[in-house]
Amino acid sequence: MRNTYLWFIQLVTGVLIAVLAGIHMVLMHLDAILGFFGVDATGITSWESMIQRSNQGIWASLYIALLAVVLYHALNGLRNIILEMTPSARTERIITRTIVAFGIIAFVWSAYVPISLLSA
């Protein structure tokens, strides 16, 4: 039953990532085509532009939300691939705990940076 819930969250996070990462990708990479539609996205990776976004709570919240769903989707996907090799129950526990620990550390560290940059 637990794996059913984990799989359902995998589907939900997949849809959320497709929307949030899709917006992120279009803004970061489609500057020529966005320019054609009158949206100026040039210099979006410059320090000034990045700090300007970092100072806004809405962008920090969006980045942290994207971070949470991406980390869950990626690490649960990796766990599923490894567990498909049908390791022993003990190995499965070790793999799950290692991936959960890595996910928590990556989330705390990666969420700390946008929060600390809010007042930069």
**Greatest CA span in the chain, whole angstroms?**
57
From 6, 15, 94, 100, residue interacting with other proteins (rule: CB under 8 A): 15
| Cα–Cα distance, 87 to 92 (Å, whole number) | 6
Q: 30-69 mask for other proteins (x: CB under 8 A)?
A: xxxx-----------xxx--x----------------x--
Q: How far is the CB of 90 from other proteins (least distance, A)?
A: 22
Q: Name which of 73, 86, 64, 59 is nearest 12 in CA terms.
A: 73
Structure tokens at 87: 């390791």
From 6, 14, 49, 100, residue interacting with other proteins (rule: CB under 8 A): 14
Name the CA radius of gyration of the chain, rounded: 18
Residue 5: burial class (beta carbons within 10 Å; 0-12, 13-18, 19+): exposed
The smaller minimum CB distance to other proteins, of residues 53 and 92, is found at: 53
Q: How far is the CB of 98 from other proteins (least distance, A)?
A: 15
Structure tokens at 106: 């990556």
Residues at the interface with other proteins (CB under 8 A): 11, 14-15, 17-18, 21-22, 25, 29-33, 45-47, 50, 67, 70, 74, 77-78, 81, 106, 109-110, 112-113, 116-117
